[in-house]
Amino acid sequence: MELLNALLKLTALERLPRAGWLLAGQAVAEPVAAHGLGTCLVVLALGPAVEPAIDLDRAVSLAALHDAPEALLTDLPKVASQLLPPGAKRQAEELAARELLAPLSAAALARWREFHAGETREARFVRLCDKLQMGVRALAYAQSGARGLGEFRASIEELEADEFEPCARLRDQLVAALDAD
Amino acid sequence: MELLNALLKLTALERLPRAGWLLAGQAVAEPVAAHGLGTCLVVLALGPAVEPAIDLDRAVSLAALHDAPEALLTDLPKVASQLLPPGAKRQAEELAARELLAPLSAAALARWREFHAGETREARFVRLCDKLQMGVRALAYAQSGARGLGEFRASIEELEADEFEPCARLRDQLVAALDAD
Amino acid sequence: MELLNALLKLTALERLPRAGWLLAGQAVAEPVAAHGLGTCLVVLALGPAVEPAIDLDRAVSLAALHDAPEALLTDLPKVASQLLPPGAKRQAEELAARELLAPLSAAALARWREFHAGETREARFVRLCDKLQMGVRALAYAQSGARGLGEFRASIEELEADEFEPCARLRDQLVAALDAD
Amino acid sequence: MELLNALLKLTALERLPRAGWLLAGQAVAEPVAAHGLGTCLVVLALGPAVEPAIDLDRAVSLAALHDAPEALLTDLPKVASQLLPPGAKRQAEELAARELLAPLSAAALARWREFHAGETREARFVRLCDKLQMGVRALAYAQSGARGLGEFRASIEELEADEFEPCARLRDQLVAALDAD
Amino acid sequence: MELLNALLKLTALERLPRAGWLLAGQAVAEPVAAHGLGTCLVVLALGPAVEPAIDLDRAVSLAALHDAPEALLTDLPKVASQLLPPGAKRQAEELAARELLAPLSAAALARWREFHAGETREARFVRLCDKLQMGVRALAYAQSGARGLGEFRASIEELEADEFEPCARLRDQLVAALDAD
Amino acid sequence: MELLNALLKLTALERLPRAGWLLAGQAVAEPVAAHGLGTCLVVLALGPAVEPAIDLDRAVSLAALHDAPEALLTDLPKVASQLLPPGAKRQAEELAARELLAPLSAAALARWREFHAGETREARFVRLCDKLQMGVRALAYAQSGARGLGEFRASIEELEADEFEPCARLRDQLVAALDAD
């Protein structure tokens, strides 16, 4: 039943809010699970245009898993991560990933670790997609009336995306759209 | 900007509730996006144990995309689908998928269609994982105090899972846990 | 107990969101039940000024019932209705109305059908009030900070209201107020 | 624009919670608007069986309007009404009804007053339907897992419904169903 | 167990919305409990600068208790208080305070009464902090995109704060920030 | 304006959920601000009975401030704290308290530090009240239908409360009530 227990714990991703939006004043924040799925969709949108080609489907798996440990750790906003001692969050994530993903499958844990190690092209690509999903979400908030999201715009603008041209293009479109809004 | 517009529309998956839980009396329903991610996680949990081996990562992509058209159509509960003329929902999903997924990438639309055609082993496996995720969610609701979920237990019990033994095993665990609760 | 069961099912109207607001980016959407009551109030506001006089109270009954089948079908946004085959939604509504309203009373089902047939002046008047309530709601959203509601303004402006002068007047006030906002 | 302003204020009925459910521990409470519409539906369910016949549609209008002043006053739970000086709530409701309903139409204000005077058979019938809707809601909460609703069961059981046999019958069904639950 | 029962009833402060925000169109309103804690924080921010010195900690106690009776009475918006007969709300608050706070401790009831009598400098200071917290909340809403809060700005501007210079200073900053927004 | 900025940031306490309830399956979790106020109320309930007497009002101030740094750090559930390196959370809290509370007043920061140092009797008393509030909340959840709160019952039972007899008494009542439920 270890597998079922892990799946039950992972349902918390549906209820846990992405904390950055709460700190920025939004009354109802995107759940972590929606960010996870949204990152998969950004991967599926940009991945096929990456050159040289990447393993698109493996990249989707990395995206689906990348925040799974938050079902135990919750989503720490950027400011919180900065106040913790260096490496503290990373260590906690590794422990949480082991507890939650090892009972699913060795492949699940391996793909999560690939994402966090950031050594494969797929992992680096998904890390950009993770940030770009935040930009898409910020733009959607802004277009429906939200304000006070300047720090999110700034994070998007600062993204280094030279390795993946489709990411650089979406970054630029997001910044332009946020500015036009 | 067609790609960005499609990604913006897809953020609605975060807000759209899985309607079956609302009809069953739950005040706050799982969002469609959380179901999508949860299905990916079931795939990652059961897929590596499937014999003969399937393409695990492609199955995850199918799971991530399988309900994407609901960003235009919303989630129709089972009872609503049954009241529509035969084939009506299917036709609408195909049109919505074209509108939302074609701007992402040809691969995204192709994978969605593979899921709905149900002709590959990966597609049939993900369709079972889609239902099993509903069982995991029903059990999580029940364990935190919800009642009145009998029809969900019945759907799980009736699942035909002979083709994929790991799915049959999780189905049986779910039924047993729902009965024990 | 058939009557009580139908009333229990109809409580879902309280939890089901008006999907159009969710697709437009609002985090919390008006429930279907609130739209139903709001339509009754628009009828009570405009009905007494209609000439020649209509049966005001019967019009209120039509308004109260007009979306009752959504307790089974959920609220389909305009875009979803357009993607379904012609007549599909109508047929499903008729079946759902029978299942939910026949157990209440023959009068309830008859009034719902009168609304949907649109052959009496009361029915045509309530259909306009249904749309005008949407305009009032859009304006209320806009005045509390929402943006991105342009398509709702457009729907209101296009309303043909020649048959009922008080409706035409409210339509024009709504468009003016949305533009001034 | 007085009419439009009143309609805008009345949209608050969608957001205002029925306070009794909050005090009883429910995290998400039925909005006042949903109670209003639900009362209309109980009227439409029981009204046609009342003997001698009542004016069904006028009764629906009374139901739709009966709590409209709460858009200014909010919903006071029973315990709050009991702590206010005798007549205080009634006086405030009359002032609020004048402010909110007179701009709609004379008919709207007249029907609200008919309900509160309780002198017509329709008014007395709707007052019972108002309470019975609360019983239906309590039962729906209980069937989806809520507990701690004993005081609502007690209120239903104590309802004097001799004047309207269909109301007495639903009351008894509700008590039986709450006890069976 | 009277003490425990009172504490259980007071948990309703978490679920009860500050009604003024709902009437002003916000979909999700600050809970009464958050207003209570926020008032404590304003006291702790401004209190140490008050001259001659006040009893800072007793002022915090007054702030923590000042709206406790709302766990029975709910939060009446300004407009509702004005529609009740003079003194009605005050009388109900005294009765509710007795029922909820006497079981906690004599000190709790005494501090609540000190606040409402407004005869000590601490009580008058906390009454200003109560209003200033509303101004901080209004500004936070406005900065995240809310509109339609003009009446709150007006209330803040009209605050008489001559007795407590730090309150006058925060009032002026709030008005300036609301205007700049 | 540093003071006003800190007050604005602290409004996030209203939106941040107490994460433990989310992980335990509750759909809507108590906000951190409500926990803060609830702790003040437990202090006011039990403090006057403590012997020898403590400084009741200073204890209330400690309670009001004890979780203020969570406006930057968010609420870490117990399991998350255990996965972080020893001392990591403590260090982050100290930094966050400095950033948020120093702009309020030296007194605010001093009281927060007194709580966390745990060296005064008031601080140790408030630490128990912090846990007892969690027990009151768990009991309120359970009485309205929640299940799956066994770990909270266990934490309450294990509380060492020898130093403060009124705390020991409430702990025992809570355990008895949770068991009776």
Q: What are phi and psi of A133, to 5 degrees?
A: -60, -40
User: Which chain C residues touch B74 with a CB distance below 8 Å?
Assistant: 19, 22, 74-77, 80
Determine, for residues F75 and A74 on separate chains, whether the beta-carbon distance falls below 8 Å.
yes
Closest Cα in chain A to E147: A145
Q: Which residue has the tokens 């106040």?
A: A83
Chain C and chain F touch, per 3+ beta carbon pairs within 8 A: no
Cα C62 to Cα A4, B181, C9, C44, C124, distances in angstroms: 49, 44, 19, 12, 10
**Whether the predicted pLDDT of E40 surpasses 90:** yes
C76 vs B contacts (CB less than 8 Å): 73-74
Q: pLDDT above 70 covers what percent of chain F?
A: 99
Contact D83 E73 (CB under 8 A): yes
Q: How many residues does chain F have?
A: 181
Q: For the purposes of burial, counting CB atoms within 10 Å of the CB of E119, is it exposed (0-12), middle (13-18) or buried (19 or more)?
A: exposed
Average pLDDT taken over every residue of chain F: 97
For residue range B114-134, what is the model confidence (pLDDT) as tens digits? 999 999 999 999 999 999 999
Q: Which of B44, B100, B42, B30 is nearest to B68 (CA)?
A: B100
* CA gap E12, E17 in Å, rounded: 10
pLDDT in tens, F5-47: 999 999 999 999 999 999 999 999 999 999 999 999 999 999 9
Among all residues of chain A, which has the CA nearest to that of F71? Answer: A23
Angle, in degrees to the nearest 10, between helices A106-117 and B32-46 = 110
Asked whether residue B1 carries a pLDDT value surpassing 90, the answer given is no
Res F181: pLDDT: 82
Contact state of E144 with A28 under an 8 Å Cβ cutoff: no
Of F95, F15, F9, nearest to A80 (Cα)?
F95
Taking alpha carbons only, the member of A76, B34, B154, B112 closest to residue F76 is A76
pLDDT in tens, B30-59: 999 999 999 999 999 999 999 999 999 999
pLDDT at E24: 97
pLDDT higher than 90, residue F1:
no
Residue B15 pLDDT grade (very low, low, confident, very high; cuts 50, 70, 90): very high
CA C168 to the chain's CA centroid:
17
Interchain touch C–B (≥3 Cβ pairs closer than 8 Å): yes
Q: What is the mean pLDDT of residues A50-68?
A: 98
Mean of pLDDT values over A123-134 = 98
C71, closest residue in chain B (CA to CA): B23
Q: Give this complex's ipTM.
A: 0.98
Residue A181, pLDDT above cutoff 90: no
B27 contact partners, CB below 8 Å, separation of at least 6: C15, D26, D27, D28, F27, F28
Contact E129, E61 (CB under 8 A): no
- Spell out the SS3 assignment of chain A: CHHHHHHHHHHHHHCCECHHHHHCCCCCCCEHHHHHHHHHHHHHHHHHHCCCCCCHHHHHHHHHHCCCCHHHHCCCCHHHHHHCCCCHHHHHHHHHHHHHHCCCCHHHHHHHHHHHHCCCHHHHHHHHHHHHHHHHHHHHHHHCCCCCCHHHHHHHHCCCCCCCHHHHHHHHHHHHHHHHC
Residue B161: count other Cβ atoms within 10 Å of its Cβ: 17
* pLDDT above 80 (res A1): no
Q: List subunits contacting chain D, requiring 3 or more Cβ pairs under 8 Å.
A: B, C, E, F
Q: Which of A84, A99, A100, A101 to mutate to test the interface with F (most CBs of F within 10 A)?
A: A84
Q: Residue D118: what pLDDT?
A: 98
The Cα F170–Cα B32 span in angstroms is 43
E80: enclosing H helix or E strand: helix E78-83
As a whole number, the mean pLDDT across chain E is 97
Tell me what the mean pLDDT of segment E63-85 comes to.
Answer: 96
Helix locations, chain D, DSSP H: 2-10, 19-23, 32-46, 56-65, 70-73, 78-83, 88-101, 106-117, 121-143, 150-157, 165-180
Which of B21, B143, B147, B181 is the mutation pick for testing D, counting most D CBs within 10 A?
Answer: B147
Are C45 and D3 in contact (CB < 8 Å)? yes
Interface test with A, best of C147, C149, C152 (most A CBs within 10 A): C147
Q: Which residue of E has its CA nearest to D87?
A: E85
* Nearest chain F CA: its distance from E85 CA (Å): 31
Residue E95 CB: number of other CB atoms within 10 A?
A: 17
Contact call for C145 and A145, based on CB within 8 A: yes
Nearest-CA distance D106 → chain E (Å)? 21
Q: Which pair of tokens denotes residue B68?
A: 């994407």
Measured between beta carbons, which residues in chain F are less than 8 angstroms from residue D147?
143-145
- Note down pLDDT in tens along chain C; length 181 residues: 699 999 999 999 999 999 999 999 999 999 999 999 999 999 999 999 999 999 999 999 999 999 999 999 999 999 999 999 999 999 999 999 999 999 999 999 999 999 999 999 999 999 999 999 999 999 999 999 999 999 999 999 999 999 999 999 999 999 999 999 8
Residue F11: DSSP 8-state: G
Task: Kindly state the percentage of chain A with pLDDT values over 70.
Answer: 99
Instruction: Classify residue B2 as exposed, middle or buried by CB count within 10 Å of its CB (0-12, 13-18, 19+).
Output: exposed
Residue C117 has a CB neighbour count (10 Å cut-off) of 9
The dihedral formed by the CA atoms of B32, B35, B36 and B38, expressed in degrees to the nearest 10: 160
Apex F177 CA angle, F175 and F178, nearest 5: 65
CB contact under 8 A, A28 and C28: yes
Question: A37 and B41: CB-CB below 8 Å?
Answer: no
Neighbours of chain B (3+ CB pairs under 8 A): A, C, D, F
Cα dist from E67 to B144, E23, E62, E90, whole Å: 31, 19, 9, 12
CA distances from A86 to D41, D76, D90 (A): 61, 52, 63
pLDDT one-digit tens code per residue, A144-153: 999 999 999 9
User: D17 in helix, strand or coil?
Assistant: strand
Q: How far apart are the C-alpha atoms of C50 and A1, rounded to whole Å?
A: 67
Cβ <8 Å between F84 and A88: yes
Whole-number pLDDT of residue E181: 82
Contact flag A17-F17 (C-beta cutoff 8 Å): yes
Q: Is the pTM of this model over 0.90?
A: yes
Mutate which: D9, D21, D23, D100, vs E, most E CBs within 10 A: D23
pLDDT computed for residue F29 by the predictor: 96
Contact (Cβ atoms closer than 8 angstroms) between residue B89 and residue B81: yes
Contacts of C26 in chain E (CB under 8 A): 27
For residue C105, what is the nearest residue in chain D, using CA coordinates? Answer: D45
CB F153 within 8 A of CB F137: no
**What are F's interface residues with D at a Cβ cutoff of 8 A?**
26-28, 140-141, 143-145
Chains A and F touch (3+ CB pairs under 8 A): yes
| Minimum-distance CB partner of A34 among B13, B173, B174 | B13
pLDDT at D163 over 80: yes
CA A78 and chain centroid, separation = 12
